Amino acid sequence: MKRTTAERTRRRNIANAASCGIQRAHVVLYACEPSGNTDRIIADLRTYALARDWIVAGELVDQVSLSEPTHRRPHWAKLVQLIESGQAQGIVTPMRRMCGLREPEQTSLDTWLATHNAFVVNVWNAGTSPAATAR
């Protein structure tokens, strides 16, 4: 079978990536759940991250209300430290609002993430809902 130029290029790029040892992304699993009923939530976040071949650098749960500003949450400082030190490149959370409820916090989060070349993924909005995970 004759390969197209595009197919040869794609295969060459895959081989180069494999030989260069491209690093997998390290992520922090983060939830803000006042009830403390988080075992299933963290398990779902872990499943999501591992399905993407990401390495889980930390699992953090703040048992406070979503309305609590992030800078007042007990585990938020650890999350910030992991991102800023480069030990993690992303945050995996059920809902983006868990990383800041109001618009100013969301804007600040976006700026902070961009500054550190990091990302946030909201799992429930990515097609997985609490109802779907309960199956």
52-89 residue pLDDT tens: 999 999 999 999 999 999 999 999 999 999 999 999 99
Q: Exposed (0-12), middle (13-18) or buried (19+): which is 111, by Cβ within 10 Å?
A: exposed
State how far the Cα of 54 lies from the Cα of 89, in Å rounded to an integer: 10
Which ranges of 21-99 does DSSP label H, i.e. alpha helix? 39-51, 76-84
pLDDT in tens, 11-30: 777 777 666 666 789 999 99
Amino acid identity at 129: S
Q: Considering the chain, what percentage of its residues have pLDDT values greater than 70?
A: 86
For residue 126, the model assigns a pLDDT of 56
Q: How confident is the model at residue 134 (pLDDT cuts 50, 70, 90)?
A: very low
Tally of helices (H runs) and strands (E runs) in the chain = 5, 4
Lowest mean per-residue pLDDT among 12-16, 20-24, 45-49, 124-128:
124-128
Q: What domains does the chain contain, in order, with CATH numbers?
A: 23-133 (3.40.50.1390)
Residue 18's pLDDT is what?
A: 66
